[in-house]
Structure 1
C-alpha cells in the first residue's frame, strides 16, 4: 500500500485547478473557478473549483472532492490508481508501506486469483491466434460472426482446445497452484482428484471488472465433439473475486461512453455487446442472460440515469424480463424499451447497421417502459375483466415504487387514458401501496420482553438503541451514504440535522482550540472541537447515529494529538469513498465573501465563534433526541397490543414522564440561546 507521507506529497503537489483544467474549461469567478460539470449534461456552469480549499464540487449533481477524487471519478480509477496517476504527472516517487500479515493474506488470496485469471486470458488468446484448432475452429467462428481483428483484440477473446486438461496442465507446469485454478473456477476437481478444464472446446469471453481486471470467463460451445453438450454457454462460478450479481459484461469498455452520452443500452449476451461496439455504439452492457440485480443497477446508475432496454421479438423472454424492471423504477431511473425488428437481436441488427443508423432506429422506435408494459399486457388481457384487473394491479405496483411524485402523477394520467380507468382510482391504489411500503420500512417494532422500558426504540440520554429508520450499526455497509439521510417526514430528521452540523464543525475545525477548561487541579487546559464533542457526548452516554459520522469522530479522536493533523485535509483525502464524500460535502462552500466586504466591515467567521457555536449545536442535538424519543413513546402508546397491556402501558407512561422532565432541563440549559432551525 502507498504510505501516508507519499499520499500527502501527492495531494500537496496536485493543485486542484491544474488537475481539473486538463479536462474542464474553467473561468475565474471571484476567489473560485467555475465550469461545465464533466459528470452530467450541464448547460449552465455548476462545477466549482476552490483553489483555497483544494476542492471541486458540482452543485447540481453533487460530485466532486479533491484532485484524487476528481481523477477517480473522471477516469474511473481506484484510489491507489488515481494516486499513481497524479504521482506520475508530478514526478513523485511512489513508496508503499509493508502490509500487515492479515492484509497480506487477504490481498495474496485475491491477487493470486486475479493473476491466475490473467494467465488464463493470455493462454486462451494465444490458443486462438497460434494453435491450429484455435485458428480453424475458434477464429473461424468469430470471423463467421463478422468480428474484426481489432474488436477481437479489444475484448480479449480466446479459445480453449477440446483437450479436457490442456489449460490445467500448462498452468501447473508454469507453477500456478491447483488451489487457485479451482477457486477461480477455471478448473474443477474430479472424484479421483484430477483437474479438468471447465471451458474445454469453447470460444472464450473474458469478463472485466469496472477497473479492467479479468474477474471471470464465459465459454460458448462450438465444434462437433461438443455439439452434444446441452449447455451452450458455461460461465465461471461465484468466487471470492467474482459475484455475478455485481458485474455487467462490457462495463469496463462502456463506462466513458455512458457518461458522455448519458445513456446505457442494456442487452442480454456477450455477442450483442461486441457487435454493437463494432458498429460504433459503445455505451452498452449485458446482464449475461440473468435478471437485473440491485448491484448491477447501482453499477449502471453510477454513470447515467437513463437506460434503454433492447429486446428481440421473443415475447416469452420479454414478459419474463420486465418483471425485474420495477427495481430500475425504484432507483428513480428513466427507462425506455426498444423492440427490434422480427428476427433480429442486438447482435444481428448491429451487424447490419452503423452507429448512426442504429441510434436513429432506437430514437424512432423506443417507448417509455410503462407504456410498453401496458400495451404488451393488454394484448394478453383482451376483454377478460379478471386479466385486466391483474394488469391494472401490476401497473399500479410499478408506479408506486417510483420515488418522484411528479413522475408518478404523469404515469397515472397516461395509464388511466390507456386503460380507460379513472385517475382517482389509480391515485388511491398507488397511495395505498406507497403507504404500505412506508409503514413496512419505518414502523418501529417492539420486543416481547418483560422489561417494558426496553421495548421503546430510541437513542435517548440513557443510551438506548437507535430507533428505525435511523442508520445501521457500525460494521454494516457504508457504500451508499445518501441512504442514511432521513427523507421528508421521517422521525429523526431533526436531530440528524444537528448531528450533521456537529460533524461539519469537526471536519472543518476539529483540531482547532475552541476554549479553555479547568482540570482537576484548577489549571486552565485548552480543548479542541473534537475533544469537546467527544466529552460532551460521553457526559450523557450518547453516540452519533450515522455510522459514517461515528467513524469520522472516532478517527478524528485517534489522530487529534498527531503532529500536523488537520481534520479537513485528513478526511477529504480519506481512502474510504463514503468518508471522503461526506467530508467533501461538509467542507464545500459554493460562495465566499469577496475582499470588498472584509474591507468595509469586520466579518466574524464560524472559526472565531467556535466557543459559542459548538455548545449550541450539542444542546440542540440532545434536545432533538429527547423530542424523537417522546414521539416514539406516543407512537407506541397507540399500538392496540400495548394499550391493552396495563403493565407495559404504565411503564411507557412513566418513561414519557421522565423524558418530559429531561425536556424541561434541556429547555433551561438552552435558556435564551437561539435554537438553530
Structure 2
C-alpha cells in the first residue's frame, strides 16, 4: 500500500503538462495546451490540457481526467503504478512492498503479464552481470559492439542462459504462474503424451527488452550468438495482450523528449542502431525493429513531431520495399527526409566509428527530401530506358498524391518536373487521374456501406436534449469552478401584494456559491436525479463546507475513474470554445467569473421552471374525466402556472 501522504505529495508535485508532454507534442493555446489525440487518429488537434485546472480532455474520444487518469488510459497502468511512475519522475520517495505470491495471483491477466515481463528483464540483466556464463558470453558480445556499462544498464540489456529451462524454473520458483510465462511468450509449453514440456524461448541469446512509451517492458528481442543456420538470428516475443509489434517502436521511451525537443525523429531498422546513436549522443532515434513500418508506429511519432528522417544502410537490399514506408508517412501528413550511409556502413557502425560532430554533420549534409531521394534512386534503376523512366515518374507522382496538403503537393510536382525534365502540366494531369481513381474507389466503398446504412436509416431518430441532465451538469460545474467564491445574490421572495396577487420581490444577500445552491435546492426539496451527479454533488458540498482551501485537482483524484472523466469534460468544455487574445483587436468578451451570481440564479430558476412544468404535465394527466372531481387539481395547476409565469418573467422569458 502507498501512504496517503505520498499520494498527496505526488499530486501536488506532478505537473500535468510536463507528464503529458512526454507522450504528446503540446502547443500553447491561450492559457491551455493543444495536441493531437493519443487515443484516436486525427489530423486536427482536439486534445486539450489545462495547467491551471491540472486536467486534460480529449474531445475526439471523450476521455479526460487528471494526471493519473491519463497514465491509466494511455499506458494501461493500475492506480498504484501510475503513482509510482510519477513518484519516480519527480524523485519522490515511495515505500514499495514486495508482492507476495497471493498478491501475484490476485493481479489481473494483463497486469500479471506486465509483472512477468518486468521480472524477466531483471532476471536477464542479473544473469548478464552476475553469472560467469553471462559475463563470458553476453557481456563480452556487448563490449565487442562497443557498448559501455552505462549504455548496457540504461537499455536494460541482458543474457538468457543456453539452458532449456533456466529462466522458466527460476520464475516458477519465484511464484510466477506458467500461464502468464506462456502468454508473454517467454516460455514455450508443449503437451506431450507422457508429460508437459516447457522450455525457454530465448535460450542462448542476448536480450533487448522492448519498452512502451512510459518505459514498461512489453516484450523482448533476442539475438543468437552461435552460427546455428537453423535458428533465426533475431527472435522477437510473439504478439500478446501487452505486446503488439505493429504499435511499438524500439527506444521510444528513451527518445520521446529528444524527439519533441529537436522536432525531428531518426528512424532506423535495428536495436543496435538505436543504442549506438544514443551512446554517441543522438537521442531522437527509434527503430521499427525489423518489421515493415505501420501507420500505428507513424502515429506514435506524429504525436511528438511532424518530421521524420529515415536512415538506410548503404547496401540495403530492400531499399525499394522500404519506400512503401515513406508513402505511409506522407499519408499521415508528415515531412520525410531520407539519408543513406556509405556502402558497407549502417547507423550502428557509422556512429561507432565517428565522433558526435562528424555524425551530426553527415546527417545534415546527406539527408535528402524524399522526392530527391526517390528520383535519384529510381532514375538510376531506369538506366535511360524511356518506359522505365515513365514508370518512375508515375511512381513518384503516386507518392505525391498521398500528401494531404494541396500546397505541398503542388510544390513537389514542380520539383519533380524539374528533376525528371517533364512538363508540370503532364504531371498535374497524372496526379488528377490518380485522384479520380482514388475517388472512384472511395465512391464504390461508400455505395457498399450505404446498403447496410439504408437498413438502419429509417430507425434513426433525433436525440432529444435531456434538459434536467444539462442543468444538473451546470450545477456541478458551478460548484467546481466557483463553489468557494463569495457573491452577492438577488434572492426572490414570494409575497402577496395589496391586490392579493402573488409577486416575487427581490432581496439582496451575500453568500458563498455552494451555500446558495445548497439552500435553494433544499428549500424546494430538489434532488439531483442522475446518479453520477447526485453522488458528486453531495461530495462537493461536503468538501466545500469542510475545507477552506478546496482543490479541484485533489477532489478529482479521489473520484472513481468514470466520474473523474465526466468531471474533466465539464471543466474543459469552456477551454474548447475559449476566446484568446481578442483584447488586441479591441474586443472585450464578458468573463463568466464577473457574472457568477447571475449564472447561479438563472440555472436554479431554470431548473425550478423545468420541474414546475413537468409537475403541471403530471397533474394534467390526472384531470381526465369528470372536471368537477378534479377541482383541487385544477386549482393546484393554476397556482403552478402563475408561479411559472413569475419565474419566467424574472428570467426575461416570454411565455406563449
User: Do they superpose with TM above 0.5?
Assistant: yes
Distance verdict in 2 for CA 1:39–1:160, change over 3 Å: closer
Cα deviation for residue 109 of structure 1 reads 0.8
Cα deviation for residue 215 of structure 1 reads 1.1
2:627 alignment partner in structure 1: none
Q: Is the aligned partner of 1:213 residue 2:216?
A: yes
CA contact (8 A) 1:267 1:309 kept: yes
Distance verdict in 2 for CA 1:394–1:180, change over 3 Å: same
Q: Distance in 2 between matches of 1:173 and 1:340?
A: 48
Distance verdict in 2 for CA 1:447–1:158, change over 3 Å: closer
Question: Max radius of gyration: which structure?
Answer: 2
CA contact (8 A) 2:162 2:204 kept: yes
Q: Is the aligned partner of 1:64 residue 2:67?
A: no
CA contact (8 A) 2:155 2:209 kept: yes
Distance verdict in 2 for CA 1:391–1:199, change over 3 Å: same
Q: Is the aligned partner of 1:222 residue 2:186?
A: no
Q: Distance in 1 between matches of 2:307 and 2:533?
A: 44
Which aligned pairs between 1:77-156 and structure 2 lie closer than 5 A? Answer: 80=79, 108-156=108-156
Q: Distance in 2 between matches of 1:106 and 1:298?
A: 35
Distance verdict in 2 for CA 1:245–1:446, change over 3 Å: closer
Q: Distance in 1 between matches of 2:582 and 2:244?
A: 50
Which aligned pairs between 1:49-60 and structure 2 lie closer than 5 A? Answer: 49=31
Cα deviation for residue 307 of structure 1 reads 0.8
2:281 alignment partner in structure 1: 280
1:422 alignment partner in structure 2: 423
Consecutive unaligned residues in structure 1, runs of 5 or more: 25-35, 50-54, 95-103, 464-497, 514-554, 615-672
CA contact (8 A) 1:446 1:456 kept: no
Aligned-residue CA RMSD (Å): 5.2
Cα deviation for residue 106 of structure 1 reads 10
1:521 alignment partner in structure 2: none
2:300 alignment partner in structure 1: 299
Q: Distance in 1 between matches of 2:270 and 2:413?
A: 34
Q: Distance in 2 between matches of 1:603 and 1:319?
A: 63
Q: Distance in 2 between matches of 1:37 and 1:393?
A: 40
Q: Distance in 2 between matches of 1:289 and 1:380?
A: 25
Which aligned pairs between 1:587-602 and structure 2 lie closer than 5 A? Answer: 587-588=574-575, 589-591=578-580
Distance verdict in 2 for CA 1:90–1:456, change over 3 Å: same
Q: Provide Cα deviations, 1:11-64, integer angstroms capped at 9, x if missing partner.
A: 9x759xx9479999xxxxxxxxxxx9997697xxx4543xxxxx6558997652
Cα deviation for residue 208 of structure 1 reads 0.9
Cα deviation for residue 297 of structure 1 reads 0.9
2:534 alignment partner in structure 1: 561
Q: How many aligned residue pairs are there? A: 505
Distance verdict in 2 for CA 1:222–1:367, change over 3 Å: same
Distance verdict in 2 for CA 1:319–1:585, change over 3 Å: farther
1:400 alignment partner in structure 2: 401
Consecutive unaligned residues in structure 2, runs of 5 or more: 37-43, 57-65, 96-103, 480-527, 541-551, 607-652
1:247 alignment partner in structure 2: 248
Instruction: Provide TM-score, normalisation by structure 2.
Output: 0.64
Q: Distance in 1 between matches of 2:259 and 2:396?
A: 29
* Partner SS for 1:210: coil
Distance verdict in 2 for CA 1:298–1:453, change over 3 Å: closer
CA contact (8 A) 2:206 2:224 kept: yes
Q: Is the aligned partner of 1:197 residue 2:200?
A: yes
1:445 alignment partner in structure 2: 447
Q: Provide Cα deviations, 1:72-118, integer angstroms capped at 9, x if missing partner.
A: 78999777466667789899999xxxxxxxxx999511121122222
Instruction: Provide TM-score, normalisation by structure 1.
Output: 0.62
Cα deviation for residue 238 of structure 1 reads 0.8
